[in-house]
């Protein structure tokens, strides 16, 4: 990355309001671009069915997360929906060591923080076609109860507003179309 000579790889950040489809699209990018590896964040939220420790997240207790904040193990961290989420410096170090590109699935504030620290990073914001579609997708995913779903919906306005500063915005109406669009954006970033 030209702006930061110590970082040989490239950084791709995908952000979106919860339920807009960023995890689905991020997985599709990992399948399509072998040089990309997923930046495994730490979180204090509880593990969902199907999530694997160390693959999807490093799951930490709040005191342990706080301890790691204190010893400066995070590149960035945020409190979201009452839990902590953060990018570990170790993930960036690993990418440098293994000379890999990194894909981040993090929130808008985290994405903007990565861009401040690594200006060559690519920021892609995924928008749902409508707020109603977003609510329906979150309900269909069946991972949230009514109160956590409401908390996720409360944040949408702020996320869409901050997402305006991203390099690209993609509307996830039809999944195949959205995947093709994001693939094109990532391809031109990785090859130029
Ligand atoms: P996020 O990571 O942004 O919270 P997910 O990728 O988990 O979102 O997607 C939320 C739900 O919506 C999932 O059940 C997913 O299968 C579904 N989904 C994703 N994209 C679409 C789409 N274009 N149309 C309909 N459902 C979608
Ligand atoms: P979820 O609980 O649905 O996995 O994630 C909730 C939100 O936290 C999503 O917007 C997700 O992108 C974000 N997130 C996950 N990891 C990180 C991280 O390391 N840093 C930041 N800032 N946000 C994160």
Q: Is 24 exposed, middle or buried (0-12, 13-18, 19+ CB in 10 A)?
A: middle
Domain ranges of the chain: 11-190
Q: What is the pLDDT of residue 2?
A: 43
User: Is 141's C-beta closer than 6 angstroms to any atom of ligand 1?
Assistant: yes
Neighbours of 40 (CB within 10 A): 20
What is the second-level CATH architecture of the domain 11-190?
Answer: 3-Layer(aba) Sandwich (3.40)
Cα Rg of the chain (Å, integer): 16
Contact between 179 and 28 (Cβ < 8 Å): yes
Q: Whose CA is nearest to atom 1 of ligand 2?
A: 18
Query: According to the model, what pLDDT value does residue 81 have?
Result: 85
Mutate to test the pocket of ligand 1, among 16, 17, 18, 24 (most ligand atoms within 8 A of CB): 24
User: If you write DSSP's letter for every residue of 35-97 in order, what string do you get?
Assistant: TEEE--EEE-SPPPTT--BTTTEEE--HHHHHHHHHTT-EEEEEEETTEEEEEEHHHHHHHHH
Measured from the Cα of 126, ligand 1's closest atom is 3
**Burial (Cβ within 10 Å: 0-12, 13-18, ≥19) of residue 90:** middle
pTM beyond cutoff 0.75: yes
Separation between Cα atoms, residue 158 and residue 177, nearest integer Å: 26
Of the candidates 142, 130, 80, the residue with the CA atom closest to the CA atom of residue 105? 80
* Whether 91 contacts 39, CB under 8 Å: yes
Q: Report the pLDDT value the prediction gives residue 8, as an integer from 0 to 100.
A: 58
Q: What pLDDT was estimated at residue 144?
A: 85
**What tens-digit pLDDT sequence spans the chain (192 residues)?**
444 445 557 999 999 998 899 999 999 999 999 999 999 999 999 999 999 999 999 999 999 999 999 999 999 999 998 899 999 999 998 888 888 999 999 999 999 999 999 999 999 999 999 999 999 988 998 888 888 888 888 899 999 999 999 999 999 999 999 999 999 999 999 998
Which of 110, 156, 158 is the best mutation target for the ligand 2 pocket, counting ligand atoms within 8 Å of the beta carbon and taking the most? Answer: 110
Q: Is 114 exposed, middle or buried (0-12, 13-18, 19+ CB in 10 A)?
A: buried
């Amino acid at each position: 990355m030209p702006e930061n000579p110590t970082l040989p790889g490239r950084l791709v950040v995908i952000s979106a309001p919860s339920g807009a489809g960023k995890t689905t699209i991020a997985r599709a990018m990992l399948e399509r671009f072998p040089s990309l590896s997923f930046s495994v964040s730490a979180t204090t939220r509880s593990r969902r069915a199907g999530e694997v420790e160390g693959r999807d997240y490093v799951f930490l207790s709040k005191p342990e997360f706080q301890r790691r904040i204190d010893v400066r193990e995070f590149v960035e961290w945020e409190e979201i929906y009452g839990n902590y989420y953060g990018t570990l410096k170790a993930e960036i170090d690993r990418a440098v060591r293994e000379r890999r590109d990194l894909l981040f699935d993090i929130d808008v504030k985290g994405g903007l923080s990565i861009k401040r620290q690594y200006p060559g990073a690519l920021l892609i914001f995924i928008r749902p076609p409508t707020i109603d579609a977003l609510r329906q997708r979150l309900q269909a995913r069946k991972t949230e109860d009514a109160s956590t779903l409401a908390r996720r919906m409360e944040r949408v306005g702020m996320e869409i507003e901050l997402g305006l500063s991203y390099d690209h915005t993609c509307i996830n109406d039809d999944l195949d179309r959205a995947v093709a669009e994001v693939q094109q954006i990532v391809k031109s970033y990785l090859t130029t």
